[in-house]
């Protein structure tokens, strides 16, 4: 069931209308949760304590979302798309409600993990729907529509989170998603196919998922220990655990990732590094932004949330604009996207502590512009470059690897911030020290991405010379 016309109306034609609504709403709840939590987290920490675990709310959420995205194919194969989607909705319901009633920071962190698993599962199934229900000619547009929902979330998340934080009742922010999730579950029950995919059933990849999760936790835990030797040991363990997970997956009968998922010799492998670094870059930039703006610049949490959301807003606008590009135009935006991100990251490094708010907002917007220019095109080309028989793994691996990057970015930012003194408290001096170091770290991912974008384009052109990207003069 596909529509070949490469127009926006194709996304809302026939059954595509229901599928587009489901996948954008599923990703939308995930996106609203990120912006909402980023806005209310300073209030949560002030009420429940646990400043040393500030980034764990993001990191545990993302680790669990990795479990959900990585297991999305199995849930679809065993339970079918409809039941798999409903499991994700149920997990999110439990997670959001658990955060709302949490009496202690530990309970909130556990609820965030449950919420993250459900969110990851919904995102994985959304990307699976893109690959299964939409023709290649309109995938860039549907992926841009997914980006568009991030813009809506960037508006709603700070409004809701900031309003509840300002009222002194941050818990109310977590109740607002409950009716949306119930509606999402009802829609999924009505429109999604219920049959399981034949010939795809395998065992739960528990060992690989645990290794990935433990790897990220090792990075996060390294920020809570004092001796340098222990920190280096935990960081080395993190690298070893993630490497083992990928090695086990390479020899598994039912893989989570496509062949050579991190090989710089293939377009898919190179794109995976771009997705990983993209996740890390956005996580490092956004995780502390509301706290920094609130403590150092005297900005209200509502306004801080909006400044943080400028990244997603710019991402959305440029994604919608660039969706219709083709040929050499696509090559140009893939080139320039990481460069805009790098420029924004360098600007934040220079002005985050005592620079003008306008400049901070411009730099956040530049990073969003870079993402919006290239992300949907890289995703679409990666799906098109999948090896025969690996289309499903390639599509579902995109959000998995992106989430892995977000988790490592949050964990790395937490490590640097705690080493700079944030574990002591969230006073102006400790926040300034942490921000200075964290935003220096934030320059590294986009700097590497500028090199890898060129590598991806060269590999794609050499291996797919007849593809429009490689031959069209634009």
pLDDT of residue 470: 42
Token code pair at residue 138? 């309109």
Q: How many CB atoms within 10 Å of residue 474? A: 12
pLDDT of residue 435: 93
CA-to-CA separations, 4 to 11, 343, 371, 395, in angstroms, rounded: 10, 37, 26, 19
pLDDT of residue 364: 95
Give a yes or no: residue 349 inside a domain: yes
Distance of alpha carbon 236 from alpha carbon 226, whole angstroms: 16
Distance linking the first and last C-alpha atoms of the chain: 30
pLDDT of residue 276: 92
Query: What pLDDT does residue 463 have?
Result: 64
Q: Which residues of the chain have pLDDT under 70?
A: 1-7, 13-14, 151, 154, 195-204, 223-224, 226, 228, 463-474
Give the C-alpha separation, 254 to 70, whole Å. Answer: 11
Per-residue pLDDT, 356: 94
CA distance 171 to 177: 12
- Does 3 reside within a domain? no
Q: Are 285 and 442 in contact (CB under 8 A)?
A: yes
- Residue 198 included in any domain: no
Domain membership of residue 122 (yes or no) is yes
The token duo for 86 is 């409903």
pLDDT at 2: 40
Tens digits of residue pLDDT in 403-419: 778 778 877 888 888 88
Read off the CATH number of the domain in which 76 is found: 1.20.1250.20
For residue 450, the model assigns a pLDDT of 94
What is the reported pLDDT for 473?
33
Query: Is 266 inside a domain boundary?
Result: yes
Give the integer Cα–Cα distance in Å for 232 and 419.
13
Residue 247, domain extent = 8-193+204-471
Q: What pLDDT, on a 0 to 100 scale, did the predictor assign at position 421?
A: 84
Number of domains observed in the structure of the chain: 1
Distance CA 377, CA 469 (A): 10
- Which tens digits make up the pLDDT trace of 37-74? 877 888 888 888 777 777 778 778 877 887 887 777 77
CA–CA dist 215, 237 (Å, integer): 7
The answer as to whether 321 is a domain residue is yes
Asked if residue 1 is part of any domain, the answer here is: no
What confidence score (pLDDT) does residue 1 get?
Answer: 40
Q: Nearest Cα to 67, choosing from 31, 118, 127, 131? A: 118
């Amino acid at each position: 069931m596909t529509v070949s016309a490469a127009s926006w109306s194709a996304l809302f034609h026939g059954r595509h209308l229901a599928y587009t609504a489901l996948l954008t709403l599923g990703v939308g709840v995930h996106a609203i949760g990120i912006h909402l939590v980023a806005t209310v987290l300073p209030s949560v920490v002030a009420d429940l304590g646990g400043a040393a675990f500030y980034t764990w709310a993001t990191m545990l959420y993302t680790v669990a979302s990795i479990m959900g995205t990585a297991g999305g194919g199995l849930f679809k194969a065993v339970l079918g798309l409809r039941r798999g989607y409903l499991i994700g909705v149920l997990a999110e319901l439990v997670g959001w409600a658990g955060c709302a009633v949490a009496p202690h920071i530990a309970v909130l962190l556990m609820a965030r993990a449950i919420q993250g698993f459900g969110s990851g599962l919904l995102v994985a199934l959304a990307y699976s729907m893109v690959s299964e229900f939409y023709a290649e000619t309109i995938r860039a547009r549907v992926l841009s529509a997914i980006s568009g929902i991030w813009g809506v979330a960037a508006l709603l998340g700070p409004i809701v989170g900031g309003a509840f934080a300002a009222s002194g009742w941050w818990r109310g922010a977590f109740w607002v998603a409950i009716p949306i999730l119930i509606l999402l579950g009802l829609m999924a029950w009505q429109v999604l196919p219920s049959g399981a995919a034949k010939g795809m059933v395998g065992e739960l990849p528990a060992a690989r998922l645990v290794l990935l999760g433990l790897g990220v936790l090792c990075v996060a835990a390294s920020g809570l220990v004092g001796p340098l030797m222990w920190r280096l040991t935990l960081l080395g363990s993190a690298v070893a655990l993630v490497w083992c997970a990928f090695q086990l997956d390479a020899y598994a009968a039912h893989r989570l990732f496509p062949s050579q998922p991190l090989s710089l010799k293939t377009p898919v492998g190179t794109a995976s590094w771009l997705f990983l670094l993209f996740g890390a870059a956005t996580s490092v930039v956004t995780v502390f932004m509301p706290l920094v703006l609130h403590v150092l610049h005297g900005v209200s949490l509502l306004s801080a949330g909006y400044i943080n959301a400028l990244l997603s807003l710019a991402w959305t606008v440029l994604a919608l604009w660039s969706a219709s590009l083709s040929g050499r135009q696509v090559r140009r935006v893939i080139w320039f996207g990481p460069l805009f991100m790098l420029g924004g990251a360098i600007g934040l490094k220079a002005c985050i502590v005592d620079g003008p708010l306008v400049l901070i907002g411009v730099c956040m917007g530049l990073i969003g512009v870079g993402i919006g220019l290239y992300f949907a095109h890289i995703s679409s080309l990666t799906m098109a470059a999948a090896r025969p028989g690996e289309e499903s793994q390639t599509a579902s691996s995109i959000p998995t690897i992106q989430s892995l990057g977000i988790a490592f970015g949050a964990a790395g930012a937490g490590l640097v911030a705690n080493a700079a003194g944030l574990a002591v408290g969230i006073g102006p001096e400790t926040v300034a020290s942490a921000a200075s170091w964290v935003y220096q770290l934030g320059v590294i991912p986009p700097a590497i991405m500028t090199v890898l974008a060129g590598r991806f384009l060269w590999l794609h052109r050499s291996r797919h010379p007849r593809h429009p990207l490689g031959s069209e003069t634009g």
